[in-house]
Structure 1
Amino acid sequence: MFILFGTKGYLYQLAILTLVCGQCGNPAAHTLRKRVTKFTLFFVPLFPISTKYATQCTFCGAEHKVNAQDAEQLQAQAAAGASPGGQVHGQAPQQPHQH
């Protein structure tokens, strides 16, 4: 008797937000994604093993990990249609200083 088991990954796009990228510094659209890995038995997904969130810049392609709480906040802001103030991952937008 053989028992077939393994894992399968699922990728969900939760929202599209305009954020300042932490990599390239450009204000650009970012996709908020959720990656769920599920345990499978005989090719039937049974339960999630891990859930990870990330944003990806559409300008440079950089991907940044986000914790679940921040992902929920970003998703709520996208649903409300509000801009999160141009901040991503605790980084303030860079602006020139005037003296």
Structure 2
Amino acid sequence: MTAYPSDPAVAAFVTAVNAGDKAAFFATLTDDATMSDDGTDRDLSAWAEREIFSSNGRMDIEDVSPDGRALTATYTNATWGGMRTRWAFTVTDGHISRFETEQA
């Protein structure tokens, strides 16, 4: 990685994704966290299982916003290969309450 998020919750999210650590991933989120993929809201648990954990998802961060809550990354998994993506995170009380990802 050439950049890393300064926001602790977002940094923990990226670390958990890259480690394939499901428990750590869900620990970064609020109990009622939501997400969207390419502008469509998804079931977060089902999406994470499909796009991260069962397909070995990984993030190689290219750029991070000054507040550490938005980033551009090459996202790679066994299903789709690698693609350039944008990620935006809403952090509430130190946990991610929403994230949005899309192709960049």
The TM-score, its normalising length taken from structure 2, stands at 0.24
Structure scoring higher RCO (CA < 8 A, sep ≥ 6) equals 2
Greater helix proportion:
2
The TM-score, its normalising length taken from structure 1, stands at 0.24
